[in-house]
Structure 1
Amino acid sequence: MGGPVRGEVPEVGDGPEYDLDFRAHPERYRHTPDEQGAFKIEPYKSELLPDWTVSDLTPAAEAAQTIHDRYRSYRDDGEFVGMDMARKYLQMGWTRAMRYAKYPGGRKYDDGEEREPERWYDTEKRRIARIYRFHLDRVRADPAYARAVDAHRERYGGD
């Protein structure tokens, strides 16, 4: 499977984004089940990243809810790329918070060696991870999301 973009797309010179509006060109977006493209797919990155945080419980809970609300808005507007990007941000919130929950400072490696996770090193980050996972599971269980993934692959091809 390739990355989240079909074909060659140049990157923005002063940032990590692709030089392409994926709202205008959804055919260039390739669905991946991971978090690839979360910091590159515009305009969704600019719409979702400012709300995303795992720093503290209250802001993170608000962020997860806001991102889920954006997911529903993208779904209502028929924007699969936005739906999938919102899913990626929820997934990223879960995975990042879990790393901080298990590893002091969120560092999984120390001097190139993988550290043993501590269960649970940071209980607040564990709660944040559970909140993001709750919203992520809601997206994954949404029949409209599954239909949108299938429709996008059928319309534009898939790996």
Structure 2
Amino acid sequence: MIVVGDGSDDSGGPEYDTDFRENPDEYEIGRGEEGVFKVEPYKSELLPLWSYKEEESARESAEAIYERYEKYRENDEFPGMDMARKYLQMGYTRAMRYAKYSGGTKYGDDGEELEPEQWADEEKREAALVFEEYWERVREDERYRNAKERHRDQ
């Protein structure tokens, strides 16, 4: 896989210089949410659907992302399936950060992690739980697990 830039920062910067729909064998699963802002064409298809503002928008978002997941699954597109899983996971982790930390600020000015609150934002907690439900559905999907194993074996 060719990477534009050093690839060390997933929060911004250029995408990979690869169309992963056309070249699924070049897709690397990575850890957690790696690649969510770089793996095309999936980033462009999933990012516009992603929102965790409050429970209702999270539910609409998670449902739309899960529908995409099902389409990727029907087409045997493991990179798309995995990216949908990552967007659901990221919905959970981002919403939970705001649920636990006022304003989503996890670190103080000194760089030290702040003490989480129980619950700083109850609405974000509800949004996180919506994403968690859909994220779990993907993780428990036998077809996803089999496709992941096959992809790793390649």
The answer to whether 1:8 aligns with 2:2 is yes
* Aligned-partner Cα distance in 1 for 2:2–2:13: 17
Runs of at least 5 residues in structure 1 that lack an aligned partner in the other structure: 1-6
* Aligned-partner Cα distance in 2 for 1:21–1:118: 41
Cα drift, residue 15 of structure 1: 5.2
TM-score scaled by structure 1? 0.88
* Aligned-partner Cα distance in 2 for 1:104–1:16: 31
Where does structure 1 differ by over 2 angstroms across 4 or more consecutive aligned residues?
A: 7-11
* 2:3–2:17 CA contact under 8 A, matched in 1: yes
Cα drift, residue 45 of structure 1: 0.1
* Aligned-partner Cα distance in 2 for 1:115–1:10: 34
Shifted more, 112-121 versus 126-135: the winner is: 112-121
Deviation per CA, 1:17-75: give whole Å up to 9, x if none. Answer: 11210100111111124100000000000000000011122111100011011111100
Shifted more, 33-42 versus 14-23: the winner is: 14-23
Cα drift, residue 139 of structure 1: 0.3
RMSD between superposed Cα atoms in Å = 1.4
Corresponding letter in the other structure for 2:144: Y
Runs of at least 5 residues in structure 2 that lack an aligned partner in the other structure: 6-11
The answer to whether 1:101 aligns with 2:95 is no
- Alignment-derived partner of residue 78 in structure 1: 76
Deviation per CA, 1:79-105: give whole Å up to 9, x if none. Answer: 000000000000000000000000001
Corresponding letter in the other structure for 1:126: R
Tell me the matched-pair count: 147
TM-score scaled by structure 2? 0.91
* Aligned-partner Cα distance in 1 for 2:14–2:142: 32
Kindly report which structure 2 residues correspond to 1:29-108, keeping only aligned pairs within 5 A, or say none.
29-108=27-106
* Aligned-partner Cα distance in 2 for 1:34–1:67: 17
State the identity as a percent: 55
Corresponding letter in the other structure for 1:23: R
